[in-house]
Structure 1
Amino acid sequence: MSLAHPAAATESTDAPSWSLVIHGGAGVIERSRITPETDAAVRTALDAALDAGSAVLKSGGSALDAVQAAIVILEDDPNFNAGRGAVFTYEGSNELDAAVMDGKDRNAGAIARVHYTKNPILLARKVMEDSPHVMLSGEGADRFSVESGLEQVDQAYFGTAERRRQLEELKANKVSWFDVDLKYGTVGAVARDTSGNVAAGTSTGGLTGKRYGRIGDSPLIGAGTYADNRSCAISATGAGEYFIRVGVAHEICARIRLKAAARTEFLAQEAERGGSKPDAAMLAQLTAQALSAAEVQQIADAVIAEMGALGGSGGIIYLTPWGHQGYSFDTPGMYRAMANSDGGNRVAVYGDEE
């Protein structure tokens, strides 16, 4: 399956002092299926999330704080499948998943099948910072949320009339394995702060009609979420089972890291042949220049194509410590937006938008 919509990656000669990329899901997102009102509402929400994350980065805040700020906005908006607006399980409840990861030390936190936490991304961060664990699930995660003092809400807060309609349509069609509209409304963000650290976060309600305690890729470190200062930060959205099988987030980061390391070593050897003995500062500069935006994009596209060849679909957003930022998806559309300190802001929904 070939990649239908590779994104235009961005870079500058001097890496931007901060960068942010966000998504609100990928899938069968086409103009014929989206009303003008929904289109406008989604773009407004993406703008608001971009503004929230950018404000943190502009003030010198951390990449992790920026990721959290952007995702909270999207979790509070019913147009997305995360927090308020989360899809229903087959039994008619809402089960929420989320993860965060800090590229500086690869510290991570994740939660799955949470029921009452208003903003699941906040709970994922609590797990990362205030527990000895990486992942909590179900009733235990719910208890930890209460003990952590996070805002709790009734299940009725999450569900919307549209999400209920989607579940009823799925049941009427006797299709219990897939999202009825093939819109993966998972939300996510990746950021690079002025210290050069990257971070990633993802939040979702999963798939409409999911059963048997199903957990997708979003809260799984290395599948739907990953961040490493040696390579990149990734947040994914799509057919979670396939992202898990490929380990999409980690796979992209690993390929970038290994290729950058090999290129840096080659450049260092060339410098030595020219009479320069690379010190730590020079090696850091060589690493920052090792890969072009096109090469990073090619790696992301290749992994998405590999996942697609297995039968999956969806997309990712990425951001490297060296200023490359972009996205890759093989679906008709993807709710997405990006910004950096160079003023390169953009919001897009459909596959033919840059």
Structure 2
Amino acid sequence: MSGAVDWALALHGGAGTILREHLSPEDETRYRAGLEVALAAGRAVLEAGGTALDAVEETVTALEENPVFNAGKGSVLTAEGAVEMDAAIMDGASLDAGAVIGLRRVRNPVRLARQVMEHSPHVMLAWQGAEDFARHMGAETMALEWFVTGHRSTQLAEARAANVVSLDHSDGKYGTVGAVARDRNGNLAAATSTGGMTNKQPGRVGDAPLIGAGTYASNRSCAVSATGHGEMFIRLTVARDIAAMMEYQGLDLAAATYRKVHEELPRIDGAGGVIAVGAEGAPVLSFNSEGMYRAAQCEGAAPIIAIFEDAPQDGDPEGTGK
């Protein structure tokens, strides 16, 4: 792409049954503050002329550092009371990608995913192999106690008592974080990170680290990060399909995301949403649940920070916030 283009950035912190009456003013303030901090981290990169890849890494790292979100420090607990964290990152310019699965000690999984992309011949490393690679790369690690918050311990106890596997909250909030960006050179990137599901069977993997399911980026079409019931997003290869509809069917970004999120996912009872950005224009933030923690900003425009479904979003074809 010749000439400078306007940068754009979007992020999410999970989707699901997020209703005003279920969220206390204090919790809403914490979520909005966390979204604002993460948006500022990515925006600083793009405003300085940095790359989309750096922007999504910094944005997701900020979300991983915030215990209110289900990634990094805030990761939910498995049935064994441990954390198993997954992350992926993809460069739309080169189609290079990196992913990690089943991390138990790495502080920022998204940073390790990028190191897999840049310092190994592989796209994905899992469990002990990923932990060994983290030690080799000198990645910062933390003791289990650093990850285990009182809130997550309570969630696990409730899930065990009910004998259920919970997607972050019993109210159906699907916990994943992610970011997509376009830099001034027109390059796109996406990153996604998650702690998975409360009380999940150890070894369970969702869509977040799977390139084409929960994370995808190509300069030919768009960058996508998903949040929702991972098994459904895997079955429909949601992220790559949105890009493919743009590349091969000529759909614009809003139409492609709407078809996938509002028409195809509901057919298999898939709930959640995506954030996406294309070669031009505003990001699209599309979800079929009652809410999605989200934020977005384009160069020269005011930031958007929203939680509930009644807040309209740039790029929303229906103007409803979905």
Q: Aligned pair 1:220/2:210, yes or no?
A: yes
Residue 117 of structure 1 deviates from its aligned partner by 0.5
Q: Aligned pair 1:352/2:322, yes or no?
A: no
Residue 15 of structure 1 deviates from its aligned partner by 9.2
Kept after mapping to 2: 8 A contact 1:296/1:324: no
5 Å-filtered alignment, 1:280-319, equals 295-304=252-261, 305-319=263-277
Kept after mapping to 1: 8 A contact 2:20/2:308: yes
Q: Aligned pair 1:131/2:107, yes or no?
A: no
Residue 258 of structure 1 deviates from its aligned partner by 1.6
- Aligned partners of 1:259, 1:338: CA distance in 2, in Å? 27
Q: Aligned pair 1:60/2:29, yes or no?
A: no
Kept after mapping to 2: 8 A contact 1:224/1:244: yes
Aligned CA distance change for structure 1 residues 22 and 176 (closer, same or farther; 3 Å): closer
Residue 16 of structure 1 deviates from its aligned partner by 5.1
Kept after mapping to 1: 8 A contact 2:159/2:166: no
Q: Which has the higher contact order (CA 8 A, sep 6+)?
A: 1
- Aligned partners of 1:308, 1:162: CA distance in 2, in Å? 31
SS of residue in 2 equivalent to 1:139: helix
Task: Tell me the equivalent position of 1:320.
Answer: 278
Instruction: Return the letter of the residue paired with 2:244.
Output: A
Gaps of 5+ in 1: 1-13, 261-290
* Superposition RMSD in Å: 1.4
Count of residue pairs brought into register by the alignment: 308
TM-score with structure 1 length normalisation?
0.85
Kept after mapping to 2: 8 A contact 1:15/1:323: no
- 1:90-137 Cα shifts (integer Å, max 9, x gaps): 111000000000000100000000111100000000000000000001
TM-score with structure 2 length normalisation?
0.93
Instruction: Return the letter of the residue paired with 2:48.
Output: S
Aligned CA distance change for structure 1 residues 207 and 15 (closer, same or farther; 3 Å): farther
Show structure 1 runs of 4+ deviating over 6 A. Answer: none
Q: Aligned pair 1:27/2:16, yes or no?
A: yes
Task: Tell me the equivalent position of 1:207.
Answer: 197
Gaps of 5+ in 2: 313-322
Task: Tell me the equivalent position of 2:32.
Answer: 43
- Aligned partners of 2:175, 2:280: CA distance in 1, in Å? 29
- Aligned partners of 1:156, 1:307: CA distance in 2, in Å? 37
Kept after mapping to 1: 8 A contact 2:13/2:63: yes
- Aligned partners of 2:85, 2:171: CA distance in 1, in Å? 19
Q: Bigger radius of gyration, 1 or 2?
A: 1
Task: Tell me the equivalent position of 1:141.
Answer: 130
Residue 177 of structure 1 deviates from its aligned partner by 6.3
Task: Tell me the equivalent position of 1:269.
Answer: none
- Aligned partners of 2:92, 2:42: CA distance in 1, in Å? 17
Q: Aligned residues: percent identity?
A: 48
Moved more, 14-23 or 225-234: 14-23
Task: Tell me the equivalent position of 1:3.
Answer: none
